[in-house]
């Protein structure tokens, strides 16, 4: 008998500070919807979270290539995504977006795990998400000590809790599965 236990269980549901605000821009939502493979979808969630941190840190939007502008982006190839305009909002709203993004990533991983707990993309996606999430948690910790704004602190706490859940779950992730069709290289 196989018991299907979610890898990550959010004990603190994410609630937006502004009920009308979506944590993804319309273009980001389109990219998520169009990206069906779990590990690739996790890449999208990582990128959109990185966009929020870049804006909060005053850095250029990582979705724009060096030398590109919002009106005309350089495209290296046909696969380059159009991420749209940079997300806008207060720091509290951007932090709340990060919490929503992490929660959606958790939900996606848990949904696949509930349907097929042997799916090799579960562990791959979780490990892929955990790496940048460690950096997000470090940034959240630094922001926590820099603000007295209650809305920002609340969003930081939610995002940090979700980030810690992801990091903890990555330690329980299924081991990577080798593709039997690929031959190992001999030394």
Q: In sequence order, what DSSP letters do the residues of the chain get, joined into one string?
A: ------S---SS----SSTT--SS-HHHHHHHHH--SHHHHHHHHHHHHHHHHHHHTTPPPTTSPTT--SSS---SSTT-----SPP---HHHHHHHHHHHHHHHHHHHHHHHHH-TT-HHHHHHHHHHHHHHHHHHHHHHHHHHH---HHHHHHHHHHHHHHHHHHHHHTTSPPPPP-TTSPPPP-
Residue 13 lies inside a defined structural domain of this protein: no
Most confident of 49-63, 124-138, 164-178: 124-138
Residue 117 lies inside a defined structural domain of this protein: yes
Residue 110 lies inside a defined structural domain of this protein: yes
Q: What is the per-residue pLDDT for 2?
A: 32
Residue 10 lies inside a defined structural domain of this protein: no
Residue 50 lies inside a defined structural domain of this protein: yes
Q: What is the per-residue pLDDT for 178?
A: 66
Instruction: Please choose, from the candidates 136, 133, 156, the residue with its C-alpha nearest in 3D space to the C-alpha of residue 144.
Output: 156
Average pLDDT over residues 1-23: 51
CB contact at 8 A, 110 and 30: no
Mean of per-residue pLDDT scores for the chain: 82
Residue 121 lies inside a defined structural domain of this protein: yes
Residue 70 lies inside a defined structural domain of this protein: no
Residue 112 lies inside a defined structural domain of this protein: yes
pTM, two decimals, is: 0.79
Distance CA 162, CA 5 (A): 18
Domain span at residue 158?
A: 26-64+82-170
CB contact at 8 A, 153 and 147: yes
- Quote the number of domains for the chain: 1
70-105 pLDDT, tens per residue? Answer: 444 444 433 467 899 999 999 999 999 999 999 999
């Amino acid at each position: 008998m196989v018991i299907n236990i979610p890898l990550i269980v959010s004990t603190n549901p994410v609630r937006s500070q502004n009920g009308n605000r979506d944590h993804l821009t319309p273009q980001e939502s389109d990219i998520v919807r169009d990206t069906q493979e779990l590990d690739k979808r996790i890449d999208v969630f990582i990128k959109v979270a990185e966009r929020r941190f870049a804006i909060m840190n005053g850095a250029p939007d990582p979705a724009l290539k060096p030398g590109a502008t919002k009106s005309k982006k350089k495209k290296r190839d046909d696969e380059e995504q159009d991420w749209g305009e940079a997300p806008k909002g207060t720091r509290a709203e951007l932090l709340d977006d990060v919490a929503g993004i992490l929660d959606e990533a958790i939900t996606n991983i848990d949904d696949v795990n509930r349907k097929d707990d042997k799916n090799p993309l579960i562990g791959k996606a979780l490990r892929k998400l955990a790496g940048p999430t460690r950096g997000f948690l470090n940034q959240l910790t630094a922001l926590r000590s820099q603000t007295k704004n209650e809305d920002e602190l609340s969003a930081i706490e939610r995002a940090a809790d979700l980030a810690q859940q992801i990091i903890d779950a990555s330690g329980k992730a299924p081991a990577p599965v080798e593709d039997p069709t690929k031959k190992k290289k001999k030394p």
